Amino acid sequence: MSGQITVIDGVKYREVSRKADVGERIKVTGDGSGYYKIGDLAEVIRESSVDVYANLRRSETFHGDGYWYVRHEHYVVLEPLTCTEPSADIRAQIDGLTQTVASLTLRVTELERKQSAKFSVLAKQLDDAMRAPFKTRDGIVEQAKKDVAELERSSRDVSGKTISFWPKVIDGIMDWIPMQRVEYVINREKRTVVALIKYLPNFNDGEIYARGKARCAPDDCFNAHIGKAIALRRALGLTVPDEYINVPQPESVCVGDIVDTYDGDREFHMRITVRGVETDSDGEIQLDHAGCDGKGYTYTSFDVEYGDRIIDDSREEVSA
């Protein structure tokens, strides 16, 4: 029976088979012929070589005044189970593990936050891609052309002043007359487009009413149509669509493109306006263009590995 657990008044005791000392609690395990019975609880008052004299009054029933002799082989000692404080080394290990768990929890939380942020960005990119699957560079250029054409014939308000570009006719009746016009200053060397909204000569002597400017990044391909759309929107105080700012770069050379070519040492060779594009027997792209003197035609290879690149795909003749 040694090793079993007994609970008394909410306190746990382990049953141990040994000789009891004075003051210890015991639990009776043998029959005492009416003086004590199995399961009685007692407290040792004195002990001898063959038995202990114990107080059995804690039992539900007891003989006489509740004091009697219990043989050593008829009881087990009840040893209380006490919680001991851990040693300093164990406490240090526990503290260290607690800090490690806290640190790991913070790292997991931060990783989850970063992953959530990345997922949000990817989800937005995917959503944008799904919403605009056909927004190629050529498609955005065409959108910019239509945008400019629409804005130039619409009535807009700038700083509380109405800009009237073109007669607006409703049911055959002209609603108002134009007061301004838009002029564009395109500088291919500086890679800029400026939109100037001017009064017509018969209004305020043709003075400039509002202006907006677009500048192409050094490594981007210049396009006058996109530049016009950006500059005009800025002059009118309108939001510039993100696709105008982050338009994809051209993927292939087309007739009318302006190209910078380089030699095998990556030294600048010449700037040409493409008049034709062919592929030779070796699979290399050959550009048909006017010669350096502007007379006749000659061919120049196009190889991005040498640094050749399209610098302007406006595909129109516009003076700087």
CB 259 within 8 A of CB 309: yes
* CA–CA distance, 76 with 78 (Å, rounded to integer): 6
Cα Dmax for the chain: 139
**In this structure, what token pair is assigned to residue 134?**
């056909």
Using CA atoms, how far apart are residues 128 and 243, in angstroms rounded to an integer? 11
How many alpha carbons lie under 13 Å from residue 70 in its C-beta half-sphere?
35
pLDDT digits (tens, 9 = 90+) for 208-240: 888 899 999 999 999 999 999 999 999 888 899
Tens-place pLDDT, residues 233-272:
998 888 999 999 999 999 888 888 888 888 777 788 788 8
Tokens of 273: 């306006």
One-letter amino acid at 242 equals D
- What global pTM score does this model have? 0.52
Q: Which residues of the chain have pLDDT under 70?
A: 1-2, 83-87, 119, 123-134, 155-179, 201-206, 281-283, 289-297, 299, 317-320
- For 5-80, which CATH class? mainly beta
Interatomic CA distance for residues 241 and 244, integer angstroms: 6
CA–CA distance from 18 to each of 25, 55, 70 (Å)?
Answer: 12, 18, 13
Q: What is the CA radius of gyration of the chain?
A: 48
Q: Which residue has the tokens 């290399």?
A: 284
The sign one gets for the Cα dihedral 220, 223, 225, 230 is: positive
The type of residue at 90 is: I
Using a 10 angstrom Cβ sphere, with 0-12 exposed, 13-18 middle and 19 or more buried, the burial of residue 199 is: middle
Can you give the residue ranges of every domain in the chain?
5-80, 85-133, 137-245, 258-312
